[in-house]
Amino acid sequence: MKISVAIATYNGASYLREQLESISNQRHLPFELVACDDGSTDETIEVLTTYSQTAPFPVRLYRNETNLGYAEN
pLDDT tens-digit series, residues 33-62: 999 999 999 999 999 999 999 999 999 999
pLDDT of res. 3: 93
pLDDT band at 1 (very low <50, low <70, confident <90, very high): confident
Q: Please count the residues of the chain.
A: 73
Span 18-32, pLDDT tens digits: 999 999 999 999 999
pLDDT of res. 70: 87
**61, 48 Cβ separation under 8 angstroms:** yes
Identity of residue 62: Y
Beta bridge partners of 6: 34
What gap in Å lies between CA 45 and CA 36, rounded to an integer? Answer: 10
**pLDDT (mean) for 55-71:** 94
Burial label for 44, CB within 10 Å (0-12, 13-18, 19+), is buried
